């Protein structure tokens, strides 16, 4: 499974764990990297840049394989100290950064100058082309199915992945809607050179969240996520639960709801508490439609080996069909 993605990222299998808020900690990233994929720490998960520096060291103590750091630049309740976060990343010798959101060109310039491979995550071909022009090395294109922020254009992966592949010269990672080797084979067939998964990795033994959260993902069906904050043009795909229902109810009242009205429901600290306590009814739990494809809680190693085997079998079956 050697291609531009495995070469650029220095990994065995072209499978990336996207940087997930509150989940992308050393336990998660190291488990994925040790299993042959690329694990990713979430920079904003750490309370301060100094904590991020310590988390990077903790991850290094848990794996000698490459891992990345995600820096998301989207609206936040408290503005993160991005300059100092990038200082820590560059000074800490990180070789791979996953960016998302509205990233200034100067940030890409700085990362490139430091020899860092930039994987930029985005949700439209237009933004992907702009990022390519600004020098990112890889685009991770996020279909409408994805957890988190799918953007406002609602193009699912089956269309978005080949559209991005056709438009770009840099290699593409397919993100959103992938949970197993079938999805991986489909993404590769559409021209992507790797896959990114978030929700699927939350339902693994090593994911640092309460077991109730993993069980909730096993239980959820593909139609049990909701898009909240669409009225604020900050659409966010989360699990269906009383909190997401209340957010939608407030948003759909005549006149809508300002962010300040939604903040007590959607704020990240409340979501974090839900992930840690296991009270999945009392905070926003980010999840993609692939929740409907998850029915067990394997280790990251089992998951990745199984995916790769299933992907190979699917591609071989397709090749046999083509030759018949
Ligand atoms: P937070 O507590 O800062 O904010 C909670 C939610 O409210 C987030 O979805 C955020 O985008 C949104 N928000 C904050 N201020 C807003 C405003 N003024 N207008 C509209 N929406 C607003 O978030 P957090 O949980 O600490 O997460 C930190 C960052 O990581 C946020 O930018 C969040 O969106 C992002 N994140 C990204 C993903 C992803 O899938 N890429 C998943 C989780 C969180």
Q: Express each pLDDT in 122-161 by its tens digit.
A: 999 999 999 999 999 999 999 999 999 999 999 999 999 9
Per DSSP, the three-state class of 279 is coil
As a whole number, mean pLDDT of residues 3-18 equals: 98
What pLDDT, on a 0 to 100 scale, did the predictor assign at position 26? Answer: 98
What pLDDT, on a 0 to 100 scale, did the predictor assign at position 292? Answer: 98
Burial of 102 (0-12, 13-18, 19+ CB in 10 A): exposed
Pocket of ligand 1 contains residue 100 by CB under 6 Å: yes
Query: Torsions phi, psi of 158, nearest 5?
Result: -60, -25
Atom of ligand 1 nearest to the CA of 70: 41
127-158: string of b/e by CB count within 10 Å (b at 16+)? bbbebbebebbbbbbbbbbbbbbbbeeebebe
As a whole number, mean pLDDT of residues 94-106 equals: 97
Residue nearest (by alpha carbon) to ligand 1 atom 27: 268
pLDDT band at residue 1, thresholds of 50, 70 and 90? Answer: confident
Distance 44 CA to ligand 1 centre (A): 10
Pocket of ligand 1 contains residue 257 by CB under 6 Å: no
Distance 193 CA to ligand 1 centre (A): 29
Residue 321, CB half-sphere, CA atoms under 13 Å: how many? 6
Query: CA-CA distance, 60 to 314, in Å (whole number)?
Result: 35
ipTM of the complex: 0.95
Contact 199, 287 (CB under 8 A): yes
pTM listed for this prediction: 0.97
As a whole number, mean pLDDT of residues 71-89 equals: 97
Q: Express each pLDDT in 269-321 by its tens digit.
A: 999 999 999 999 999 999 999 999 999 999 999 999 999 999 999 999 999 99
Per DSSP, the three-state class of 133 is helix
Pocket of ligand 1 contains residue 81 by CB under 6 Å: no
Contact 204, 299 (CB under 8 A): yes
Query: CA-CA distance, 250 to 66, in Å (whole number)?
Result: 43
Name the residue of 268, 271, 288 to mutate for ligand 1: max ligand atoms within 8 A of Cβ.
268
Query: CA-CA distance, 125 to 206, in Å (whole number)?
Result: 34
Quick one: which of 92, 60, 63 has its CA closest to 71? 92
Contact 213, 23 (CB under 8 A): no
Say which DSSP state 241 is in.
Answer: S
In the predicted model, is pLDDT for residue 2 greater than 90? yes
Name the residue of 46, 73, 75 to mutate for ligand 1: max ligand atoms within 8 A of Cβ.
75
Pocket of ligand 1 contains residue 123 by CB under 6 Å: no
Write down the mean pLDDT value for the chain.
98
Q: Express each pLDDT in 161-182 by its tens digit.
A: 999 999 999 999 999 999 999 9
Pocket of ligand 1 contains residue 48 by CB under 6 Å: no
Q: Which neighbouring-strand residues pair with 142?
A: 175
What pLDDT, on a 0 to 100 scale, did the predictor assign at position 7? Answer: 98
Distance 77 CA to ligand 1 centre (A): 7
How many helices (DSSP H) and strands (DSSP E) are in the chain? 14, 10
């Amino acid at each position: 499974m050697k291609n531009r993605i495995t070469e650029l990222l220095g990994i065995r299998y072209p499978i990336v764990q996207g940087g997930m808020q509150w989940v992308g900690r050393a336990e998660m990233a190291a488990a994925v990297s040790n299993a042959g994929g690329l694990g990713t720490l979430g920079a904003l998960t750490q309370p301060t840049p100094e904590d991020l520096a310590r988390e990077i060291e903790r991850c290094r103590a848990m794996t000698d394989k490459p891992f990345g750091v995600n820096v998301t630049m989207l609206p936040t309740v408290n503005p993160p100290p991005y300059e100092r976060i990038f200082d820590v990343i560059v000074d800490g010798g990180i070789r791979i950064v996953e960016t998302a959101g509205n990233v200034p060109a100067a940030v890409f310039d700085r990362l490139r100058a430091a020899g860092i491979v930039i994987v930029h995550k985005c949700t439209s071909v237009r933004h992907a082309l702009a990022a390519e022009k600004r020098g990112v090395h890889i685009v991770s294109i996020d279909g409408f199915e994805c957890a988190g922020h799918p953007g406002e254009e609602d193009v699912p992966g089956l269309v978005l992945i080949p559209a991005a592949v056709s438009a770009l010269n840099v290699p593409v990672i397919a993100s959103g809607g992938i949970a197993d080797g079938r999805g991986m084979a489909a993404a590769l067939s559409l021209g992507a050179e790797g896959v990114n998964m978030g929700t699927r990795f939350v339902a693994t033994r090593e994911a640092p969240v309460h077991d109730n959260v993993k069980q909730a993902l096993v239980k959820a069906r593909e139609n049990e996520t909701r898009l909240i904050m669409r009225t604020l043009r900050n659409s966010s795909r989360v699990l269906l639960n009383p909190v997401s229902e209340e957010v939608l109810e407030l948003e759909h009242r005549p006149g809508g709801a300002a962010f300040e009205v939604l903040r007590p429901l959607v704020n990240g600290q409340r979501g974090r508490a839900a992930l840690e306590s296991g009270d999945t009814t009392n905070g926003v739990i980010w999840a993609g439609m692939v929740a409907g494809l998850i029915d067990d809680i394997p280790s990251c190693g089992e998951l990745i080996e199984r995916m790769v085997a299933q992907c190979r079998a699917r591609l071989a079956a397709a090749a046999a069909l083509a030759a018949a």
